[in-house]
């Protein structure tokens, strides 16, 4: 019997997964404008979270530590850190205290393009320049920066070392594809599909269990690493439906034209149906109840805010009436977030063919696509229970 072909995406997901690096057309750096817009619309929630942080020291005492988990490789993470530091400085000044030094940790999986991220960082300000001057000048940085490679579903930092944890648009990515989804003997086997949108209830529930296990691991790790006075601000894809097979905006992104493009490759004989069925997008958009249950079962944190927020479309378009631009934008959006996984599964050449078909299909249904492609986000503000 011939040995079974290794499923690279499954066996090496943590080592190979990342948003598309570099600065090319399909890179995250050039396709994260929508995330920036969505993040900006939620800044008031972030500031409310920062107001829950109990300030201690100041006047040159220990550094105030910020960690952005799932930072990726664009400028969004840098902008968020600037917002956090600016707000904390104002709080210290309101107390009549000089703010402490700041340290920011940018964390993502080891395959993340940290080089591109660090190239976007402005240089550290020279000694004697105030933090206010730094924040007013985009060419200077008011904090010490470091990269932390690793999965945020496990420990990343020393005990009680972080004041503020921030994570946006990352927690919907699972640590792995549930084994039952790829097992032909299982009722959860996701035959004919590459995502759980419109899949069987058993398949969706397998994803749901994995999400809950992952989020529980995330919270357990942060409960050790966060200072007692700290706070955590989390944003991930969410859904408004109670039915986990209805994945909202994520379902439109991965469960329509992207799914159909895989079917095209099978029908054209470019890949086998088994090859398609062995690929699944490791994303789960939770409901508010899914998220709440995990936090309450963990018991370490109190929920200061938890709600579903309408983020809008993930596509930023110059000409929304231009079907070709819509098709290209959707294909780039898909490729930005999962292109690395597709490349690993079917190779660069077939990956190129796949995303060309995504582009064509999306262009042919551009108007309908724009009407349906709306993202919702779970927004959570957590602090330690007293």
| Mean pLDDT, range 366-371, rounded to an integer | 92
Distance CA 63, CA 203 (A): 46
* Residue 158 reports pLDDT greater than 50: yes
- Tell me whether residue 95 is in a domain: yes
| Mean pLDDT, range 231-245, rounded to an integer | 95
Average pLDDT along the chain:
89
* Residue 166 reports pLDDT greater than 60: yes
DSSP one-letter code for 190: -
Q: What is the rounded (10 degree) CA torsion for 79, 81, 87, 89? A: -120
Q: Of 232, 164, 234, 230, give the one whose Cα is nearest residue 386.
A: 230
pLDDT for 41 equals: 85
Q: In angstroms, how far is the first alpha carbon of the chain from the final one? A: 60
Structure-token match 């490729």, residue found: 335
* Residue 60 reports pLDDT greater than 80: no
| Mean pLDDT, range 32-55, rounded to an integer | 88
Predicted confidence (pLDDT) per residue in 280-304, tens digit: 999 999 999 999 999 999 999 999 9
pLDDT for 58 equals: 58
Q: Of 144, 152, 125, give the one whose Cα is nearest residue 68.
A: 152
What pTM does this model have? Answer: 0.91
Predicted confidence (pLDDT) per residue in 187-201, tens digit: 999 999 999 999 999
299: three-class secondary structure by DSSP: coil
pLDDT for 315 equals: 86
- Tell me whether residue 265 is in a domain: yes
Distance CA 385, CA 301 (A): 5
pLDDT for 112 equals: 92
DSSP one-letter code for 20: -
Q: Of 178, 363, 181, 196, give the one whose Cα is nearest residue 285.
A: 196
Q: Considering its fold, how many domains does the chain have in total? A: 1
Is 107:147 a contact under the CB 8 Å cutoff?
yes
- Tell me whether residue 65 is in a domain: yes
Lowest mean pLDDT among 7-11, 16-20, 136-140, 185-189: 136-140
pLDDT for 2 equals: 34
Going 214 to 216 to 222 to 224, the CA torsion angle's sign is: negative
Is 382:291 a contact under the CB 8 Å cutoff?
no
Distance CA 22, CA 30 (A): 9
Q: Per-residue b/e over 312-337, b at no fewer than 16 CB within 10 Å?
A: bbbbbeeeeeebebbbbbbbbbbbbb
Range(s) of the domain holding residue 80:
9-384
> What percent of the chain has pLDDT above 90?
75
Confidence of residue 127 (pLDDT cuts 50, 70, 90): very low
Q: Is 96 exposed, middle or buried (0-12, 13-18, 19+ CB in 10 A)?
A: exposed
Confidence of residue 4 (pLDDT cuts 50, 70, 90): very low
Q: Of 184, 176, 194, 218, give the one whose Cα is nearest residue 12.
A: 176
Angle at 144 between CA 59 and CA 380, to 5 degrees: 85
Distance CA 350, CA 354 (A): 6
CA-atom Rg of the chain in angstroms: 21
* Residue 3 reports pLDDT greater than 80: no
- Tell me whether residue 97 is in a domain: yes
Q: Of 210, 234, 240, give the one whose Cα is nearest residue 222.
A: 234
Confidence of residue 344 (pLDDT cuts 50, 70, 90): very high
Q: Is 95 exposed, middle or buried (0-12, 13-18, 19+ CB in 10 A)?
A: exposed
pLDDT for 152 equals: 96
- Tell me whether residue 112 is in a domain: yes
Phi, psi (5° rounding) for residue 113?
-85, 75
| Mean pLDDT, range 206-227, rounded to an integer | 97
| Mean pLDDT, range 220-235, rounded to an integer | 97
Q: Which CATH number is 197's domain given?
A: 3.40.50.150
- Tell me whether residue 164 is in a domain: yes
| Mean pLDDT, range 128-157, rounded to an integer | 77
Distance CA 265, CA 248 (A): 25
Confidence of residue 168 (pLDDT cuts 50, 70, 90): very high
* Residue 26 reports pLDDT greater than 70: no
- Tell me whether residue 3 is in a domain: no
Confidence of residue 128 (pLDDT cuts 50, 70, 90): very low
The helix (run of H) or strand (run of E) holding residue 135 is: helix 131-136
Distance CA 337, CA 32 (A): 10
| Mean pLDDT, range 216-241, rounded to an integer | 96
- Tell me whether residue 214 is in a domain: yes
| Mean pLDDT, range 87-111, rounded to an integer | 93
Confidence of residue 278 (pLDDT cuts 50, 70, 90): very high
Phi, psi (5° rounding) for residue 191?
-60, 130
* Residue 27 reports pLDDT greater than 70: no
Spell out where the chain has E strands: 64-69, 102-108, 144-149, 162-168, 226-238, 301-312, 375-384
* Residue 253 reports pLDDT greater than 60: yes
């Amino acid at each position: 019997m011939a040995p079974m072909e290794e499923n690279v995406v499954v066996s090496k997901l943590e080592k190979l997964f990342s948003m598309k690096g570099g600065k090319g057309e399909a890179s995250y750096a050039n396709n994260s404008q929508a995330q920036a817009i969505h993040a900006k619309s939620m800044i008031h929630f972030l500031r409310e979270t920062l107001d829950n942080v109990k300030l201690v020291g100041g006047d040159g005492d220990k550094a105030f530590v910020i960690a952005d988990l799932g930072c990726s490789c664009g400028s969004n993470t840098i902008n968020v850190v600037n917002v956090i530091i600016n707000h904390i400085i104002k709080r210290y000044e309101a107390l009549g205290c000089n703010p402490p030094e700041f340290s920011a940790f940018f964390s993502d999986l080891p395959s993340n393009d940290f080089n591109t991220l660090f190239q976007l960082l402005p240089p550290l300000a020279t000694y004697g320049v105030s933090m206010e001057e730094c924040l007013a000048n985009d060419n200077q940085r008011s904090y010490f920066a470091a990269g932390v490679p690793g999965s945020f579903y496990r420990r990343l930092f020393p005990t009680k070392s972080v004041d503020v944890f921030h994570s946006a648009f990352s927690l919907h990515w699972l640590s792995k594809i549930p084994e039952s989804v790829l097992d032909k003997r299982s009722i959860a086997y996701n035959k004919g599909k590459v995502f759980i949108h419109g899949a069987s209830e058993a398949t969706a529930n397998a994803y749901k269990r994995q999400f809950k296990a992952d989020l529980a691991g995330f919270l357990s790790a942060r409960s050790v690493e966060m200072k007692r006075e700290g706070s955590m601000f989390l944003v991930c894809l969410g859904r408004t439906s109670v039915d986990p097979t209805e994945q909202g905006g994520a379902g439109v992104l991965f469960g329509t034209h992207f799914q159909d493009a895989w079917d095209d490759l099978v029908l054209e004989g470019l890949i086998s149906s088994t090859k398609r069925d062995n690929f699944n997008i490791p994303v789960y958009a939770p409901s508010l109840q899914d998220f709440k249950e995990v936090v309450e079962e963990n018991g370490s944190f109190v929920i200061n805010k938890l709600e579903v927020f309408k983020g809008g479309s993930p596509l930023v378009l110059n000409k929304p009436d231009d079907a070709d631009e819509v098709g290209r934008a959707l294909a780039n959006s898909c490729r930005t977030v999962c292109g690395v996984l597709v490349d690993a599964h079917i190779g660069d050449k077939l990956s190129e063919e796949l995303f060309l078909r995504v582009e064509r299909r999306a262009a042919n249904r551009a108007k309908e696509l724009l009407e349906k492609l709306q993202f919702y986000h779970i927004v959570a503000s957590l602090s330690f229970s007293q």
